[in-house]
Amino acid sequence: MKNTKKMIDINEISKLAKLIRYYILISTTNAGSGHPTSSLSAVELMTVLLFGGFFRYKVADPSFCNNDRLIFSKGHAAPLLYSLWTAAGAIKTEELLTLRKFKSRLEGHPTYRFPYAEAATGSLGQGLSIGLGMALNARCIDILPYNTFVLLGDSEMSEGSQWEAIQLASHYKLGNLIGIIDVNGLGQRGETLYGKNTSEYEKRISAFGWKTLTIDGHNISEIADAYKEAFKATEEPVMIIAATLKGKGFSIFEDKNGWHGKTLSKEQAEIAVKELGEIDKDIRGKIAEPEIIEPAVQKIDFEEIKVEDNNISTRKSYGIALVNIFSKFSSMVVLDAEVSNSTFSDIFKEKIPSRFFEMFIAEQNMVGVALGLSLRNKIPFISTFAAFLTRAFDQIRMSRYSNANIKFAGSHAGVSIGEDGVSQMGLEDIAMFRTMPDSVVLYPCDSISTMKLVEKAARHFGNVYIRTTRMDTSLVYSSDEDFVIGGSKVLKESKKDIASVITAGITVHEALRAYEELKKEGIFIKVIDLYCIKPLDKKTINIAAAQTKFILTVEDHYAEGGLGEAVISALEAPCKFKILAVRKIPLSGKPSELLNYEEISKDSIIREVKKIKSDLKIES
């Protein structure tokens, strides 16, 4: 269902564009910082879109499922975004003047706090991937006729992530995705890579299978025609490449270099505003109403997987769990970066193919797509090797500021992957995911706990990271064990414990082996499976610290930002401790050789515990 409106009122659009220019100017001048020039170049492009009858949106209900979606990938054009919604009557002029003030919803770059910002942006080159996720949702999941528009800066087209999105959008034939590049030719510090040469964008983007439309981005009729033309596409994503002038409308900075992120003083603004001529400050633009329609309800038949033997790897358990929890979470979507036979998300792909989408080897775009899906109320589970999730750290970080609900699974954690060597080992993933506000970081040690925690991850709203192990592991838990986010399990304890070994994942097995050997020598340790590294079970940790007076942490991860630092920084009373972690650059070798080499194996734990015992003797 494409919009069929034929004519737009050029006079009205011009008046609105003038008002929006005025808003951009006064709001940034009032704030004393911001990006007026980058906002001004896209005024006509956005005014025609929103108020020319092309964009369909229930202003009273930003979350409405069939609203068109508009993402400002060039997030620094936030003053334009806020001005548009002021001109739409959605926010008041007084609020517009809170731009960039402490606790205002109108932040320097859009975040989830502004309801008309479809996604948080400001780190460039991310909006197209997010839009792709929303367009994919419309086409393949919700089966809704809404369109997704992404306003792009020309400078940000040099981000590789853009080309990941461009290549995938044509692969999935997303004719409902429309990008608009505001080619003002000036980046932050001078001319962009291709300057005003719109043909350079045209050539490259059309080579990737997109329909391209090159226009004058300040000509209202041309813009309207471009949207009409764009709506004719069904299987080709469309890129409108618009030649514009940075700072358009005000001679002080129009098309001039050196004005990026600079605002006018009150005096300069007063003079500049006069160039606009008469401004109708009471005019409000009308946004077309979307079709009232509900998402398709898909009946997906599938067979749950019966697991005969649970002595399997946690990565495989992850794949099985995806299938087995699907009946409870019908909004699940699974994405993978071309390693589904390693992460075992291919188990889901095989059983529920309509909810599996191949993202190919392009992790940044995968996270962006997941964010787009998440913002359209899906629960995306995305997977690749833990090491390769580092590729998308910027997208991961930014997703939080869109209030994302993404489940990240990183397989092949740590040196225990063995022979493939260090490039394939996730050794920074715990640190990376811990930095994210309110994130959940899970690291199960066996099949049962993995399956239960995958379900808990789906139930929890927010970003969750699940760390899985390559090799098969034996069962630690029985099938009736319960796991909670923020929990841990005391696996071994006695009144004679001289230390608490706190660990997770693969090294739980090392700790349990150490326990058995030490026990034979009459040495007792508490063993805690910290399957949830964030939020941390501070209570259990502090009780253990009080009881045993020594905390020994063990992890198959670099020491920095890992489980050990998380545990030690949560101690509420002084306590002795030691952190066993990966501290040498790992090599290729057998898993057992590498665990030993890095001193995180059973033998290292035994050695440390014996040191603790001998120190105790000396002290007593």
Task: Please tell me the distance from the alpha carbon of residue 579 to that of residue 535, in angstroms, as a whole number.
Answer: 19
Question: Which segment (17-25, 172-180, 503-511, 570-578) binds its own copies by CB under 8 A?
Answer: 570-578
| Residues within window 190-249 making contact with its own copies, judged by CB under 8 A | 192-193, 203-204, 206-208
DSSP annotation string for 162-179: HHHHHHHHHHTT-TTEEE
DSSP annotation string for 266-299: HHHHHHHHHTT-S--TT----PBPPP--PPP---
Interface with its own copies, residue 569, by CB under 8 A = yes
Interface with its own copies, residue 565, by CB under 8 A = yes
| Position among 51, 85, 401, 515 found at the interface with its own copies (CB under 8 A) | 401
**With CB under 8 A, what is the number of residues at the site for its own copies?**
104
Which is nearest to 418 in space by CA: 556, 271, 298?
556
Interface with its own copies, residue 522, by CB under 8 A = no
355 or 391: CB nearest its own copies: 391
Residue 564, CA distances (Å) to 430, 444, 577 in order: 11, 16, 9
Residue of 363, 565, 598, 608 marked catalytic: 363
Question: Which segment (189-197, 236-244, 406-414, 476-484) binds its own copies by CB under 8 A?
Answer: 189-197
Q: What is the CA radius of gyration of the chain?
A: 28
Interface with its own copies, residue 394, by CB under 8 A = yes
Interface with its own copies, residue 341, by CB under 8 A = yes
| Position among 145, 421, 462, 535 found at the interface with its own copies (CB under 8 A) | 421
| Position among 246, 391, 456, 470 found at the interface with its own copies (CB under 8 A) | 391
Answer whether 180's CB lies under 8 Å from 222's CB. no
Task: Please tell me the distance from the alpha carbon of residue 507 to that of residue 454, in angstroms, as a whole number.
Answer: 20
DSSP bridge partners of 384? 410
247 or 290: CB nearest its own copies: 247
Interface with its own copies, residue 568, by CB under 8 A = yes
Find the shortest distance in angstroms from Cβ 109 to its own copies.
5
Handedness of CA 556, 560, 564, 567 (dihedral sign): negative
Q: Is 460 helix (H, G, I), strand (E, B) or coil?
A: coil
Question: Which segment (9-17, 61-69, 270-278, 358-366) binds its own copies by CB under 8 A?
Answer: 358-366
19: tokens are: 């008002």
| Position among 73, 111, 244, 405 found at the interface with its own copies (CB under 8 A) | 111
Task: Please tell me the distance from the alpha carbon of residue 183 to that of residue 187, in angstroms, as a whole number.
Answer: 10
Interface with its own copies, residue 167, by CB under 8 A = yes
Interface with its own copies, residue 616, by CB under 8 A = no
User: Which are the contacts of 270, defined by CB distance < 8 A and separation ≥ 6?
Assistant: none
Find the shortest distance in angstroms from Cβ 171 to its own copies.
6
Interface with its own copies, residue 182, by CB under 8 A = no
Find the shortest distance in angstroms from Cβ 224 to its own copies.
29
Answer whether 459's CB lies under 8 Å from 493's CB. no
Interface with its own copies, residue 340, by CB under 8 A = yes
Interface with its own copies, residue 597, by CB under 8 A = yes
Residue 424, CA distances (Å) to 132, 381, 389, 444, 450 in order: 28, 21, 11, 20, 22
Interface with its own copies, residue 259, by CB under 8 A = no
Residue 248, classified by CB atoms within 10 Å of its CB into exposed (0-12), middle (13-18) or buried (19+), is: buried
328: tokens are: 């409870």
Interface with its own copies, residue 155, by CB under 8 A = yes
Q: In the stretch 31-60, what mask flags binding to its own copies with x, by CB under 8 A?
A: xxxx--------------------------
| Residues within window 448-467 making contact with its own copies, judged by CB under 8 A | none
Q: Is 26 helix (H, G, I), strand (E, B) or coil?
A: helix
Interface with its own copies, residue 74, by CB under 8 A = no
Query: DSSP assignment, residue 406?
Result: -
Interface with its own copies, residue 561, by CB under 8 A = yes
Task: Please tell me the distance from the alpha carbon of residue 91 to that of residue 99, in angstroms, as a whole number.
Answer: 12
297 or 585: CB nearest its own copies: 585
| Position among 45, 180, 566, 609 found at the interface with its own copies (CB under 8 A) | 566
DSSP bridge partners of 502? 528, 553
> What is the number of alpha carbons within 13 Å of residue 610 lying toward its C-beta?
11
Interface with its own copies, residue 384, by CB under 8 A = no
Handedness of CA 513, 517, 519, 520 (dihedral sign): positive
391 or 509: CB nearest its own copies: 391
Interface with its own copies, residue 618, by CB under 8 A = no
Q: Per residue in 142-173, is it b (16+ CB within 10 Å) or e — as a string?
A: bebbbbbbbbbbbbbbebebbbbbbebbbebe
Question: Which segment (26-34, 229-237, 476-484, 487-495) binds its own copies by CB under 8 A?
Answer: 26-34
**Is there a catalytic annotation at residue 267?**
no
* H or E stretch at 498: strand 497-503
Q: Is the peptide bond before 535 cis (omega within 30 degrees of 0)?
A: yes
| Position among 143, 339, 471, 543 found at the interface with its own copies (CB under 8 A) | 339
| Position among 4, 7, 60, 102 found at the interface with its own copies (CB under 8 A) | 102
Find the shortest distance in angstroms from Cβ 166 to its own copies.
9
Interface with its own copies, residue 470, by CB under 8 A = no
User: Which are the contacts of 263, defined by CB distance < 8 A and separation ≥ 6?
Assistant: 28, 29, 31, 32, 33, 34, 36
| Position among 36, 125, 133, 410 found at the interface with its own copies (CB under 8 A) | 125
Interface with its own copies, residue 397, by CB under 8 A = yes
Interface with its own copies, residue 575, by CB under 8 A = yes
Find the shortest distance in angstroms from Cβ 619 to its own copies.
12
287 or 501: CB nearest its own copies: 501
| Position among 89, 486, 576, 615 found at the interface with its own copies (CB under 8 A) | 576
Find the shortest distance in angstroms from Cβ 508 to its own copies.
21
| Residues within window 422-441 making contact with its own copies, judged by CB under 8 A | 422-424, 427-428, 431-432, 434-435, 437
Indicate which residues carry an active-site annotation: 363
